[in-house]
Structures are given as structure tokens and as C-alpha cells.
Structure 1
Amino acid sequence: MELCTEMKLVGDTYGSGFGCGLTLTGSATIRGFEKVGEDLSSLRYENGKGLALTVHKRQEQDALRVWTEFSNHSGEAVTLEMLASFALQDVEADAIYRLQSFWSAEGKLRRETVYDLHLEPSWSGHGVRAERFGTVGSMPVRKYFPFLALEDSRTGHVTAVQLYVGASWQMEVSCREKSGRLTVTGGLADREFGHWTRTVAPGESFTTPQAVIAQGEDLYQACARLVAAQHPAISPVDDHMGILFNEYCTTWGNPNLENLKAIADRLEGKGIQFFVIDCGWYGQGAEWPLSVGDWDVNTQRLPGGLREAADYIRSKGMVPGLWFEMESVGPKSRHYNDPTHLVKKDGVPLTVGGRRFWDMEDPWVVDYLTEKVIGQLKAGGFGYLKVDYNETMGLGVDGGHSLGDGLQRKVAASQRFFQKIREEIPGIVMENCSSGGHRLSPAFMELVSQASFSDAHETTSIPIIAANLHRAIKPEQSQIWAVLRVEDSDARLHYSLAATLLGRMCLSGDIHGLSQHQWDIVEEGMDFYRKAAEIIQKGVTVLHQCEPQSYNHPQGSQLVLRELDKQGLAVYHRFENSPQGLPALPEGCKIVATFGQADRDFSAQAWLYEKG
């Protein structure tokens, strides 16, 4: 296997083998480059016409971080229509893994062989076979995660890759040679896939997003090494796996001073670190969902403003948090019909459903959101920010060298505002939410402490999705909700609470109506979570057995084992038509704590164990 890169310039000859429109690899552009140097940190290529490619590489323990830089030292501008972050040639693999993702169904593992994908070489070796996939838009986790793993089934060896992208991206697996070895490329979505071109003037350069490559003896090890290479900006306030409460599934978008105080009173003394006020604190009347963008406090609900509510939460021993959808503008906002500062496509404001988008490159917008978001967080004394993002800008927008380039620029500006928030409010805990998991890419996860794992809060697929994400993000960042309902049986409470052991515990729901018996179960689950916290935070997932195919009607069971040195956490969920009895835990292990009882369909049990 050899590391290199790929690119294509506008005007150059496309590759042969019936690939035009299928792939931009193998063009005359890349064939014109020759390697001129290599050391531990880079590979360097030149084409003899003043153009240079540098593949930067940095070993980080068991993973390799790579990115490509294109430099124009010629006398004229050139236009890129594809520049890969990486390319791997001569990969010996006969199966690929992808992580599929849609709203409330994030991270489903999909395995296909080269035969399934029709990537066998032809009888003569002629003709391109290629599978190009990815995401188009400003939600980088939609249909797929920016992830790919390749397996050699003879040895079990796996090579896996993650892209650190915030918007449209692609990966491509192709076979050109009779040997049957694969070529893998990945990076920004190109001209054909994401309407992206970028003009580079003489003396200028362009650098791609990063990719991380890891190898392992199996998929578990390769994914663990990818995730270990992530370096999120976890606040020191949030470094010990504290429990959260979010009031959304309690008030359903109707927070007011009275009910927030009542919730804080009920939670006092229960060891909850963060109390997050979700949407509905702004706007007026029933139309508050349509007024995102103004961020005026609803004084009927909060007559004393946000500060009074935040102070009360702090007085009860919790860090107050606040929800914003800061990049969007709703139809009832006073800014909705003023195109001056909005994202445009084809010269008119881009409208998706009921939303338009702030142009985050516009200095006026940055100043406005600094006042409305950062200013209100500071004035209210909030220590936690939940950033939501509920629509995608799609193919691309104005403002760049192409629609795709415009999109990448706007999203990069949003990421800079995330950084600005952290700089202006040191220690703030930030949560990345995008209708659940649409932004669970490393590029966004490295900017925050936590993320909403999904919007599937009250479904039976919660533990399935939560376990899926172990392959893509750190569990210490993956916020799993347990929505508590008055009608919940003991089995349902165990089921919901056990799912939070697959990430960060967040509670919501009918906390006022729960019986003392129900609260006893909840507090037992919270105590067990605290005991398991170090394994969740620092451990490695060594087993993920998941039988269900349907997420709406899951069948069978799921067992997840996560271990830290000689300590282990086992989380077992039973679904419909589940097998009787309990799963086999590691041979010879000693059970040191148990939570729940997996004695029927839709029940759960968890164990802490020590290995001999």
C-alpha cells in the first residue's frame, strides 16, 4: 500500500477507461507529476511547469494524519476541479465498511464485498471500476459518515480512514489494474460530486482538509485508533463525565421561569452537573419556532430575563446551559426578508423549508451574533452552550469560486465562530447538535466538548445508535438521552438508562411525576454510570454484537463490551424476539457491580467486571 494523492485541473485530459463522469482520478494532470522528494513529514511532487503537490503526513501514535497542499509557482492561474486529501494505492482488500446515517438512524454499519460493489477487474484489466460516495451539503453526516474501512478477509486486517470535513465530501474506491488491488481517495467533494472548483493564482496555494488513516488487526482496533487520534476541545469543566439534564422533553419547547425553577428544585442534590434550557426561551407566543435569528428573550416566559433563571439554576448546584440555532434565520425573524446579510444561491437568499442562513463570512453577522449569542451567554452567566443546526444548504452557495467552494467557505466561517465563542468565554462547555447527529464529523467534534448523538430520544433504537457511534466519535462526547416517563415500567427505565452507559448520560422527561420507586431506579442508574465513567471515557470498545436490521422494529439483542486495562463494562439490550438468558461475558471475569435486569424483550442489564 502506497500513500500519494490525486488531483485534476480544468482543461486537462480526463482519464481513460470509460471513467469520465464516474471519477476524476487518473487524469493527465496527475500523470504529469513526478515525485521529487520524500521524508518523514512529506511527499513532494512537481510537474515541471511550476506546479507542486505536497502530501503532508504526521504520525500520531497508531494513526497517520495526512493532508495535501497544492502550490502554484507558474505564471498563470489554474483551476482545480478535484484535489484529494489523500490517496492510497495498491490496497489489498476485498470488503469495505461504511457508516450509513440518516436522521434518527445514525451510524449503521454496512459491509460489502468487492463483488457486491462490482469492483472486480475486467478480463483484460481495461476499464475503470469505481464507487464514489459521500455527502453534499452543510450537514457532513447525512447518508454517510466521512469514514471508510477496507478489509482483507484472508487476514482480517483493516485499513480505515476518517475525513475531517465540515461540508460536502467524498471518498472513492476504484480498481483499474488486473491485479485487483484497490485505490482509495478522499477529500472535498469534487466538481462532479459537489460542484466544487477552486482557482489558485500564481504564488498562491490551497490546502485540503485533513484525513486520518489507521490500520488494525480487525475493525475494532482500526476504529479505536481512528477515534483515539481525535483531539476534541473538551472544557476542563467537562472532563469528568458529569451528568446532564435537558428540559426539552419535559416542557416541549415551553420553558418559563416557574417551570425551570420547579425542575431545578426537583433536581437539587441529585448530582447533576449541567441543566440545559433548550429552545423556546425566545420569540413571542406560539410562533417562537419561526423567530430564530432574532434571539430576543420572551419576557412573558422569563420576565426577569435569562439571568434570573440561570442564577436560580446555579443556586441549586448546577451549571446553566442555553440553546441557540445561531446560523439560521426563521420566517418570523425581522431579518428574514432583508437579503443583505443572508447566504445566497444564484443571487437570491437560499431558503430551505422554513429557514434561511446567516452569511457567517459577513463581518456584520459576526458582530451581530457576538452580541446576541456570546453577549447573552456572558450576561446570563451561562457555562454551557448547545448549538443546534436544523437544515442543510445543499449543493452550494454564492461567494466562492464555485457553488461548492462557496459552501465550504461559509461552513469554515461557522467553525471560526465556534472558536470565537471558546476564546471569549474560557471554559464554556459546547455541545454540537444538528437535528441530532448530522454534524458528528471530526471537524466539528474537535471544536466542542459534547454532541447530541441522535434525535431518536424515545425510540427503542437508542442503544443501537449509541453503540454505532463508538466507531466514529469518542463516547465521552456522545450525549445519550434517557427520557423518563411516568408510565415507564422498571424494564423500560433500565432500558433507557443502560443506553446512556454507551456515552454521556443526559436525563429529560417527566421528572415531577415519577414515583419514589422510579426515582430509586434512576438514581441507581446514575450511581452505576458514575462507577463506569472512567471506562466509558478512557476505555476501548472490544466487542459490539448487534443483531437488528430494522431500527423501527429491532429484533434480537445487542452486547457491547468496553475495557480499560483489567476493568470492563458490559451493556446488554434485548429487543423483540430476543434470545433467552444472559450473554457470555469474558471468561474468568469477576462481576463487581450490576444494573438492571435483562429478563424479557425490551429490557437491559449492565455489568462492571474485572478480568483475571
Structure 2
Amino acid sequence: MEQKLTHLQWGNDLLALTLGWDDATPVHLTHIRSAAVSLHFTRNIPIVEIMTARHGHWEASDRLIHTTLGASMRVISSRQWQENGSRFLNVMQESIQDGVQATLQLELPDGCVMFRSTVEIRNTGTEVLSLESVTSWATLLGSPDGMSPDPGAWNIAQCRQEWLSEGRWGTKNLRELFPVISQGLTGHDPRSKHAVVSTGTWSTGNYLPMTLFISKYLGAAWFMQIEHNGAWRWETGDCTRDAYMATSGPTFDDHAWSHELQPNETFRSVPASVSVADTMQTLAEQVTAYRRTMNTAGDEIRHPHVIFNDYMNTINGDPTTQKLLPLVDAAAQVGCEVFCIDCGWYDDSGDWWPTVGEWKPSVTRFPNGLEEVTDTICAKGMIPGLWLEPEVIGVNSPVAEQLPDEAFFCRRGHRIVEQERYILDFSHPAAVSHLDSVIDHLIRDCSIGYFKFDCNVSPGAGTDIGGISPGAGMLRHLRAYNHWIDDLHRRYPDLILENCSSGGMREDFAQTSRFQVQSTSDQQDCRLYPAIAAAAPLAILPEQAANWAYPQASMDKETSAFTLVTTMLGRFFLSGYLNRMDTAQRALCAEAVRTYTQAIRPRLSKAFPFWPLGLPQWTDHLMALGMKDSDTAIVALWARRLDQGERVRLPIPHLQGVKADVTTLFPTQSGFGPWHAQWEPTQGLLTVDIPACNEGARIFQLTMPD
């Protein structure tokens, strides 16, 4: 008799997953191993959990897990293969009595220790299947071989996001969320959960769609991210002998989402990606490597251009030829490579918020045409850029009358209005055709090589055009928007795209994997920005993290250096009235650009972030961010509100035992107070003596001797 397969191992040389199942249980994770950690699971929960209008929970709760359909699935086939630099696994399950198939689809890029998971649902029955939630991934947290699982052994790190205060990571022990309640006496798991939910199109407007689970006691850590630019939910909870994590896209309960699946139709969940390691630092490196591998925006991100944008604390949305030309000249002098004209370039009325949508250059702001400015930018050796908000049409724009209602978000027969704007639905061909013609015209006639795509409104649950649920309409639009971005890269391979949503309100990986540049905030106070900048590389790639620097002629040298340091370990992103600066002030900006292009940029796209003082907290007086490769560490150190001098010790473990050379990379001009830095190889500590200051910052480099 042929032996029936009840488990399989899948992975690469760096990561291996063992999946199990049998005649009584659906597919689940039984073991996961990387070079850093090996975890086993003493209990099984289904990876795939499904809620429909007819199928709820087998144990009452409002969790994503413990679903009747999830428990009833049985494996019918599996397939492994390699393609385009990745390894793939499909595990097909079916609930015959319910007429539902669910295929778990895993992808593991070569050289990565992070995999992507999606689930495809097929209706194999004869009636409509009304989906209400589908997990992309669910598993217990597990424990190392020879140790017992314990929810209290884990801390959870999650990131609070808010306009102007992005990147605020905080950590709690799971027992603070789930106290011991002696549920074993009942024979049931607890019913509560800790769920984090995002609604609308600001996918990171409240929290990041990612979390870390870290256990120093177990020597293990997990990282999970949901790769979706709209509605999502992740959750964790106590499963009595272990804790679990689960991820999903939109749900009925949270997002007014349901998907009517006709017989033989399929639905694909939003992706989630997962990594496992021994420490947060190892996870950060693995996640960074995965994001680099999976970014589809082209080669420019590996050699990031230096960008000047006229908006922040400068022109502020009121550009004219007269204002721009002196800035263009000054930006070129300090070494900028892209000059982006931000909002307002299309406005003739002075009240442009409700009139946007045609995206035609203003004739009053630019009497000789916008081309006069963009041609000057080109003549100075820079790439011209423009701000655009592609997903909206002002209520008073002529385009609002030219496009049909079906091309806009609608609910109950009415166009949705947010802040005097309609929202385009990119699943409608008229919306896409309009934006394609706008982009084609601006590239052809104005030589635009860089677009800053902004999104300053969020339309709630979604659109019900076509009789679908609002959540389904939102998901349809966002997938169509992603396709439009992919098509732009196909049509214009050298085009540079910046993703901005009122700063960092859409920093999910569905967006950041398609863009070369990611705005991290709209924060205008240079004293507050370092907390955002230092945290950014845990959410996005360092080389795409556009942290604003906006030096001004009114600033003293230390404050100017402080704001310049904020941008230098990411995508160099400059603003400020450079043309009003004196020679020394402009020379400091030029030194920052030169240091970046000569010493930092060549390493940045291959370096990994680390945090010598831990992840920054919003009110910290001292913050540090490092970038490291095999033989070098570059460290940015900020000080705020130091009433007296302070000695700070920065651990740099990967150079411990190495007699590294320490240099100050920036600033090196005369006139700056000394920040004495000394490397202690035995302890692996960089010791820096910081003088009293309101705000000050330095960048140090540690290099292994030849």
C-alpha cells in the first residue's frame, strides 16, 4: 500500500519550514528553522482560516482563527518548484462538504530568510460563497527544541503611526495583553485577542501593518508584515499553551468587506510575509534583504539620487518661475540631482484644493510656460520632478464632469467627497486613461523624470459601484492602482516615483516595493524629525527613506547640521531657501551632499540598519541610527535639549574585537564644537563626549584597517 504523505519540508539553504497534516487536521506549521533559531510547535492551528456568511467559528470568538471552514480543510495535493529566483510551494486543501478549496501559496526568494504567503479560495460548490475574512498566514509562536512554549515569554513590538509622528515603536509583554485566567478549567482557549486594524487608503495612518514578537528567554523572534496598501488586520492571542499570530486583508467586521464568489470563481488574499530569527537585529537584516530582493521599481534605488523639493518650510505650495529659478540654481550648486516642484504648479486661482485634476501647468505662475523652469533644471544637470495627486479630482474640476460616476468612488449612488475632492476608482478604464494621458503629456512636453505621488484623503470603507461591498470595491481599486504603477514602470523604465500620503500614511510594502522613494513624514520641526528618521529603516528600505532636511539662513551651524544629518542615512531629501544662505551656510549643505554621495551612498544599498541605543522613543534626548556592512559602520547620533555635556556609549557588536579607525564624516567644517569619539574594541563600544546643546548631530564612520 502506498504511504500517504502527512508532512513536507520546504525552503532553501537559509530557512526551512515543515508543514504537517493528516486525515483529521488541516495544514499547519510543525517546525521552522533558520541558521539562528529552530522552533517547534506542540499544538496545531490551521494556517488558512476562512469566514463566510454561512461558516463561522467552531469556538465562539471574534478572532480570525478557530473558524469552522479552517478546521474542516483537508490536504489533497502539494507542489514545489523553482522559478525566477524564488522557490514556491502550493498546498491545496478542500472542504468537500462545504464546496470550498483553499490553496496555500508560499514564495521564498533565493538568498532570503523571509517568505511570502497568500491564499487562493475557489468555490467548488453550486451556490454563491460570501467570503468575510481569509487569513494570509496564521501560526503559533512556538519554542526552541527542548523548551516549552509560553505566551509570557514573548514581547510584542508594534508601531504607532500618526500624521507628523510616524514610526513610534513600543513593546509590551504578551501577559500585559492576556493575563493568566485559568481557562484550562473550562477546556477552552481564551476568546479575546489583540487586533490591530487599518481602514481606508491610509494603510499606515494609525499603525504599521507589521509586528515583531521577541523572546530573549527563548532566544527567538518573529517578524510579520502585511503587504497591502488598503484595509488590513493582524492579531495575536493566547492559545493556552502558546500564543498565536494571524494576518488578513479586509474583513467584514472591520472593513465592510465581503466577496461574493460564484461557483468555480477564485479569490486571492492579500500577501503577508514572515521571518524568524534569534534577535530583532537579525530580523531587521533579514527583512531588509527581502525588501531589496522584492522591490520591483528598477535599478535607480541602488544608486539613490539626491533630491531637492521646494515645499517643506520653503515655497509651501506656491511656486512661480520667479521663486523657483534662484532655488534651481542654488540646488544645482550644492550638488542636487533631482529638483521636484511640489504642489501648486497647476493653479491659476489661488484656491486649488477643489479644482485639481486636469494637471495642466498654470499660465499665471509660469508666463513663459513650465518648460522654462524644467528646461533650466535640465540645463543644470538635474532631473525635473513634479508633485501629483493621481487618485483625486477636485469637485470643481472640469474633469469631474468629463468622467462618468463609475470612474469615482460612490456609495449608495452618490460620489464620495473628502475635503472637496472626489476619489478616482482605478478599476475603471476611464480613470486610468485620464491619468495615462496626464503622465504622457508631462513627460513628453516638460521632460519630467520624477513624480511625487501624494494621497491626502482617505475615502472610508470603499466604493459599492457594481453592487459589491464597499470593502470589495476598495480592494479592487487598490489592486488596479498597483497595476497602474507597475505599468508606468514598464512604459517608462527610467522614471523615478516617490510615494507620499501626507507623509508616511501609506508605508506598506505593496506601495514601497513599487516606488524608489518613500516620504517618511510631513513633520516641519527639525527637532522632532530624528525620531522618525531613526525608526524608518525598520519599516522601509534605508535607501528609499526620504527624511526631510530643511536648513535655513536663519539657523545657526549646529541646527543646520542637525537637520542635514537627519536625511543623510537614507534618501538625501533636501529643502530650504538655499538661495538666501551665505557662502558658509551653502558650503555646509554642499559638504553634506558630497559626504553622502562619496562616503554613504556607495554603501547604503548594501548596508543593514542597526540601533546602538535601541529604537528611538519620541522624547529621547539621544538617538542613534547605524548602517553597517562587512567592514564598516556609519553612525548618526542626535542630541536634543542637553543642558550639560554627556558621555554616550554606543554598542556596535559586529565590530567588537576589531581595532577600527574612527572618523567624523559630517560636519567637518571649522567652527563646530568637538564631539570627541573613541572606539573601545574590547567592549565593542563607540564612546562619544557630547557638549551641552539645544540640538546637535554628528555622523561617525568606523572602518576596519586594511
Cα 1:518–1:90 shift into 2, 3 Å: closer
Q: After the TM superposition, which of the residue ranges 210-219 and 123-132 deviates more from structure 2?
A: 123-132
Equivalent position of 1:355 in the other structure: 421
Residue 311 of structure 2 corresponds to which residue in structure 1?
A: 248
Is 1:28 the counterpart of 2:68 in the alignment?
yes
TM-score normalised by L of structure 1: 0.94
Checking the alignment, whether the CA contact within 8 Å between 1:5 and 1:88 is kept in structure 2 is: no
Whichever residue aligns with residue 31 of structure 1, its letter is A
In structure 1, distance between residues paired with 2:232 and 2:531: 26
> Could you list the per-position Cα deviations for residues 247-281 of structure 1 after superposition, in whole angstroms to 9, with x for gaps in the alignment?
11332212122222222222334321100011111
* Structure 1 ranges of 4+ moved more than 6 A: none
- Report the Cα offset of residue 463 of structure 1: 1.3
Tell me if the contact between 1:535 and 1:569 (Cα under 8 Å) persists in the aligned partners. Answer: no
For residues 544 and 290 of structure 2, what CA distance do their matches in structure 1 show? 14
TM-fit CA distance, 1:576 = 2.1
Structure 1 distance, partners of 2:473, 2:315, is 39
Equivalent of 2:391, from 294, 317, 327? 327
TM superposition shift of 1:120: 4.1
Are 1:545 and 2:613 an aligned pair? Answer: yes
Contact 2:167 2:531 in 1 (8 A): no
Give the Cα–Cα distance (whole angstroms) in 2 for the partners of residues 516 and 217 of structure 1.
50
Query: 1:569, 1:100 → 2: CA distance?
Result: 27
Q: Specify the SS of the correspondent of 1:323.
A: strand
**Residue deviations 1:196-230 (CA, integer Å, cap 9, x gap):** 11111111111112111111221121132123212
How much has 1:365 moved relative to structure 2? 1.6
Q: Which residue of 2 aligns with 1:46?
A: 94
Q: Quick one: which of 191, 203, 210 aligns to 1:140? A: 203
Summarize deviations over 1:181-210 as a string: whole Å, max 9, x none: 122110212111111111111111111121
Larger-Rg structure:
2
Note if 1:56 corresponds to 2:105: yes
Distance 1:611 1:291 in 2: 57
Alpha-carbon distance, 1:284 to partner: 1.2
- Map of 2:321 onto structure 1: 257
- AA aligned to 1:16 is E
* 1:270 to 2:334 alignment: yes
Give the corresponding residue for 1:109: 169
Partners of 2:630 and 2:401 in 1: CA distance: 58
Mapping of 1:57-76 within 5 angstroms?
57-60=106-109, 61-76=112-127
* Cα distance change on mapping 1:212 and 1:155 into 2, 3 Å: same
Q: From the superposition, tell whether residues 263 and 611 of structure 1 become closer, same or farther in structure 2 (CA, over 3 Å).
A: same
Q: 1:454 deviation in Å?
A: 0.8
Equivalent residue for 1:610?
A: 703
Q: CA deviation at 1:129?
A: 2.7
Once the two structures are TM-superposed, the CA of residue 119 in structure 1 deviates from its matched residue by 5.4
Q: Give the Å deviation of 1:5.
A: 1.5
> Partner of 1:14 in structure 2?
57
**Relative to structure 1, is the Cα distance of residues 4 and 389 closer, same or farther in structure 2, using a 3 angstrom cutoff?**
same
Which moves more between the two structures, 210-219 or 526-535?
A: 526-535
Matched residue, 2:4: none
The code of the aligned residue for 2:630 comes to D
Asked if residue 569 in structure 1 is aligned to residue 634 in structure 2, the reply is yes
Structure 2 residue identity aligned to 1:48:
I
CA contact (8 A) 1:476 1:536 kept: yes
Structure 2 residue identity aligned to 1:257: T
Once the 2 structures are TM-superposed, how far is the Cα of residue 303 of structure 1 from its aligned partner?
A: 2.3
Q: Aligned pair 1:203/2:264, yes or no? A: yes
- Amino acid paired to 2:572: M
Q: How many Å separate the matches in 2 of 1:84 and 1:361?
A: 24
Once residues 177 and 648 of structure 2 are traced to their aligned partners in structure 1, the CA distance between those partners, rounded to angstroms, is 37
The answer to whether 1:215 aligns with 2:279 is no
| 2:352 aligns with one of 277, 288, 295 | 288
Whole-angstrom distance in 1 between the partners of 2:264 and 2:565? 57
1:163 aligns with 2:226: yes
Are 2:549 and 1:482 aligned?
yes
Q: Is the 8 A contact 1:103 1:454 kept in 2?
A: yes
Matches within 5 A, 1:445-456: 445-456=512-523
Shift in Å at residue 121 of structure 1?
5.6
Asked whether the 8 Å contact 2:526–2:563 carries over to 1, the reply is no
Q: Verify the 8 A CA contact 1:158 1:216 in the aligned structure 2.
A: yes
State how far apart, in whole Å, the 2-side matches of 1:266 and 1:150 are: 47
Preserved CA contact (<8 Å) 2:612 2:651:
no
| Structure 1 match to 2:5 | none
Aligned length: 604
Could you say which residue in structure 2 is the equivalent of 1:513? 580
Over 3 Å counting, the alpha-carbon distance change for 1:547 and 1:453 in structure 2 is closer
Question: 1:323–1:385: 8 Å Cα contact kept in structure 2?
Answer: yes
How far does residue 237 in structure 1 lie from its aligned partner after superposition? 4.5
**1:124-176 deviation digits (Å, cap 9, x = unpaired):** 25231311112011111111111011122313411111111010000011223
CA distance in 1, matches of 2:234, 2:50: 13
Change (3 A) 1:478 1:547: closer
Query: How far off its partner does 1:118 sit?
Result: 1.9
Q: CA, structure 1 residues 378+187, in 2 after alignment: closer, same or farther (shift >3 Å)?
A: farther
1:377 match:
443
Contact 1:119 1:175 in 2 (8 A): no
Query: Following the alignment from structure 2 to structure 1, what is the Cα–Cα distance between the partners of residues 269 and 615?
Result: 38
1:5 aligns with 2:48: yes
Match of 2:603 in 1: 535
CA contact (8 A) 1:233 1:446 kept: yes
Question: What is the match of residue 79 of structure 1?
Answer: 130
Determine the structure 1 residue equivalent to 2:367. Answer: 303
Post-superposition Cα deviations, 1:413-450, rounded to whole Å, max 9, x if no partner, equal 22222223222223100110111011111101111111
Read off the aligned partner of 1:51 and give its amino acid letter: V
Please give the alpha-carbon distance, in whole angstroms, between the structure 2 residues aligned to 1:103 and 1:297. Answer: 29
1:312 is aligned to 2:376: yes
**Does 2:544 align with 1:501?**
no
8 Å contact from structure 1 (residues 119, 129) kept in 2: no
Alpha-carbon spacing, 1:257–1:26, altered in 2? closer, same or farther (3 Å)? same
Mark the CA change 1:34 to 1:293 in structure 2 (over 3 Å): closer, same or farther: same
Percent identity of equivalent pairs: 22
Moved more, 403-412 or 596-605: 596-605
TM superposition shift of 1:320: 0.5
Q: Does 1:428 align with 2:471?
A: no
1:443 equivalent among 510, 515, 521: 510
Question: What letter is aligned with 1:258?
Answer: Q
- After superposition, the Cα gap between the structure-2 partners of 1:110 and 1:38, relative to the gap in structure 1 and judged at 3 Å, is farther
Contact 2:498–2:516 (CA under 8 A) maintained in structure 1: yes
- Does residue 233 (structure 1) correspond to residue 296 (structure 2)? The answer is yes
Please say if residues 559 and 583 of structure 1, whose CA atoms lie closer than 8 Å, have aligned partners that are also in contact.
no
Give the distance between the partners of 1:469 and 1:351, measured in 2 at CA.
Answer: 32
2:47–2:135 contact (8 Å) kept in structure 1:
no
Distance 1:90 1:426 in 2: 42
CA distance in 2, matches of 1:373, 1:542: 39
Amino acid at match of 2:137: F
Which whole-Å deviations, capped at 9, do the CAs of 1:283-309 have from their partners, x for residues lacking one?
A: 213112332112122101112323232
What one-letter code is carried by the residue in structure 1 that aligns with 2:96?
G
Partners of 2:156 and 2:214 within 8 A in 1: yes
By how many angstroms is 1:566 displaced? 0.8
User: How far has the Cα of 1:582 moved from its partner?
Assistant: 4.5
Q: 1:524-544: CA deviations, max 9, x gaps? A: 222222211133321112324
